[in-house]
């Protein structure tokens, strides 16, 4: 646990120091479980997002895109069941006023309470209380409340004065992005040539009023989801479910995650409308074990049936081949972009002891995900001829690769900085470059340096990036 905590501290420190992730509103003391992404974090996040979008839409002909609004008619969440059952069990410490998720608290005592009833959770808590074992994780006090339900929905007064906020005029920030997919299913079907089976994918912000948001960007109250809802014939659910499991598993391998790093977790307790549910879990070094990064669920026809009932709009599908009408079933894939970014950083973080005893910290990102692909240095910043030539190389490459020009500090410090942001290649212009029209290319992982003719440089980089 101490080693895990130490690694987490190093990751958080590196992310802030090198401009990946900052605490939101830090000059005002921060804002719990909300983070801002700096330059390198934004580039990394966008690269992960683009990889998912390319794999999900560009490389397939049965999935289309959507960018739905964050706000939707409140009936959306009544129909989906979020208003009545989207909550977590909450426990408070009467002494220090700390608040905890009761199921997470029970996990610390080896009790699995995932999706358990409030009666079961309070029963287990009472057993621990009677045995004198239940303590506040923050202050150690034994005076904890019973578990009660805590709604995860975030309310807003959109279109109404703040002082008139009530259940009659409240609207909600969406707790997940799939809501707009179901609401735009019919419009998508009517406006395209797609027939079943087909999917709708989108990436967007979602908001959850988490009781305890912790573990850096692994669990936050504002986050980005990457979701896809695949609409299909009821009889095809089992086969398509397996197809999507294989497809999503392959995406992780293609993005530098090894098979030994991930595993499947099968849900034994399912939502009443689901027929199957699996999570892909990644073995986080900084969190001390496997944690969920993506879910794949067979949702049945619950969502379209509910929205058809509450809206009064027929969302059924007519199959020309069989001349039958039915409500499509859905297979869903859902991943948190922040969690995937955290996974990629956790995987990439490496400490190496060099021959001189120095410890080198390097983020070994897959080249296609690295925020900066190429860094260009003049050997000396006070030699205009070197700076001008380095700028010339930088300007020739930046249209094709995400590049960075750096002339601050000695060359060793520049290498270490680029190692810490995960740049695959550093290029140095020296005095020999002026004579021979070549450049030194330094590889991030091996630290080997190679002289390459400038005329061959683009092809050299393309082959490796």
Residue reference for tokens 């969440």: 77
Within the chain, which residue ranges are assigned CATH 3.30.930.10?
2-76+154-345
**CATH (residue range 2-76+154-345):** 3.30.930.10
CB within 8 A of 160, min separation 6: which ones?
Answer: 169
Instruction: With both helix axes pointing from N to C terminus, report the angle between 337-348 and 39-53 in degrees, rounded to the nearest 10.
Output: 110
pLDDT per residue rounded down to tens, the chain (465 residues): 566 779 999 999 999 999 999 999 999 998 888 999 999 999 999 999 999 999 999 999 999 999 999 999 989 988 988 887 777 888 888 888 888 888 888 888 888 877 778 888 888 888 888 888 888 888 888 888 888 887 788 888 887 776 666 777 788 999 999 999 999 999 999 998 889 999 999 999 999 887 666 789 998 999 999 999 999 999 999 999 999 999 999 999 999 999 999 999 999 888 888 899 999 999 999 999 999 999 999 999 999 999 999 999 999 999 999 999 999 999 999 999 999 999 999 999 999 998 888 899 999 999 999 999 999 999 999 999 999 999 999 999 999 999 999 999 899 999 999 999 999 999 999 999 999 999 999 999 999 999 999 999 999 999 999
What's the pTM value of the predicted model, to 2 decimals? Answer: 0.90
C-alpha–C-alpha distance, residues 438 and 224, integer Å: 43
Fold of the domain spanning 87-151: Herpes Virus-1 (3.30.40)
CB within 8 A of 5, min separation 6: which ones?
Answer: none
DSSP bridge pairs for 452: 439
Residue reference for tokens 């983020």: 363
Q: Give the DSSP per-residue string, 351-380.
A: EEE-TTSPEEEEE---TTT-S-SEEEEES-
Positions of E strands within 53-158: 63-65, 87-92, 99-101, 148-151, 154-156
Structure tokens at 139: 């202050």
Q: Give the DSSP per-residue string, 159-194.
A: TS-GGG--TTT-EEE-SSTHHHHHHTHHHHHHTSS-
DSSP 216: G
CATH class of 372-464: alpha beta
Within the chain, which residue ranges are assigned CATH 3.40.50.800?
372-464
pLDDT at residue 212, as a whole number: 66
């Amino acid at each position: 646990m101490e080693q895990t905590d130490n690694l987490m501290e190093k990751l958080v420190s590196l992310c802030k120091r090198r401009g990946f992730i900052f605490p939101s509103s830090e000059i005002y003391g921060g804002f719990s479980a909300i983070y801002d992404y700096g330059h390198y974090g934004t580039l990394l996040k966008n690269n992960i997002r683009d990889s998912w979008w390319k794999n999900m839409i560009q490389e397939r002909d049965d999935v289309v895109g959507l960018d739905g609004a964050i706000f939707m008619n409140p009936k959306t969440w009544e129909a989906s069941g979020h208003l009545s059952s989207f909550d977590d069990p909450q426990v408070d410490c009467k002494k220090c006023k700390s608040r905890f998720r009761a199921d997470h608290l029970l996990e610390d005592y080896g009790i699995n309470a995932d999706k358990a009833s409030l009666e079961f959770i309070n029963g287990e808590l009472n057993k621990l209380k009677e045995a004198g074992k239940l303590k506040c994780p923050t202050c150690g006090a034994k005076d904890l409340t019973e578990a009660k339900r805590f709604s995860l929905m975030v309310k807003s007064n959109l279109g109404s004065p703040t002082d008139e906020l009530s259940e009659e005029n409240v609207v909600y920030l969406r707790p997940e992005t799939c809501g707009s997919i179901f609401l735009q299913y019919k419009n998508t079907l009517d406006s395209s040539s797609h027939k079943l089976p087909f999917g709708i994918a989108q990436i967007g912000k979602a908001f959850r009023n988490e009781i305890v948001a912790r573990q850096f960007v692994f669990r936050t109250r504002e986050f980005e989801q990457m979701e896809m809802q695949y609409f299909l014939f009821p009889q095809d659910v089992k086969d398509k479910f397996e197809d999507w499991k294989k497809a999503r598993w392959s995406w992780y391998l293609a993005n530098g995650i090894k098979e030994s790093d991930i595993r499947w977790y099968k849900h034994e307790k399912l939502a009443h409308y689901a027929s199957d549910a699996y999570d892909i879990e990644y073995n986080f070094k900084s969190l001390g074990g496997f944690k969920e990064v993506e879910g794949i669920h067979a949702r049945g026809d619950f969502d379209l049936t509910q929205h058809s009932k509450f809206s009064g709009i027929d969302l059924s599908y007519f199959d020309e081949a069989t001349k039958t009408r039915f409500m499509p079933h859905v297979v869903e894939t859902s991943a948190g972009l922040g969690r995937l970014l955290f996974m990629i950083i956790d995987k990439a973080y490496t400490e190496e002891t060099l021959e001189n005893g120095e410890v080198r910290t390097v983020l070994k990102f897959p080249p296609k995900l690295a925020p900066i692909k190429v860094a260009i240095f003049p050997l000396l910043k006070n030699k205009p001829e070197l700076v001008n030539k380095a700028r010339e190389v930088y300007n020739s490459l930046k249209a094709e690769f995400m590049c960075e020009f750096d002339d601050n500090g000695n060359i060793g410090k520049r290498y270490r900085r680029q190692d810490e942001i995960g740049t695959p290649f550093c290029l140095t212009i020296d005095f020999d470059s002026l004579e021979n029209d070549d450049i030194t290319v330094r590889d991030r992982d091996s630290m080997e340096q190679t002289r390459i003719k400038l005329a061959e440089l683009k092809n050299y980089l393309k082959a490796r990036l």
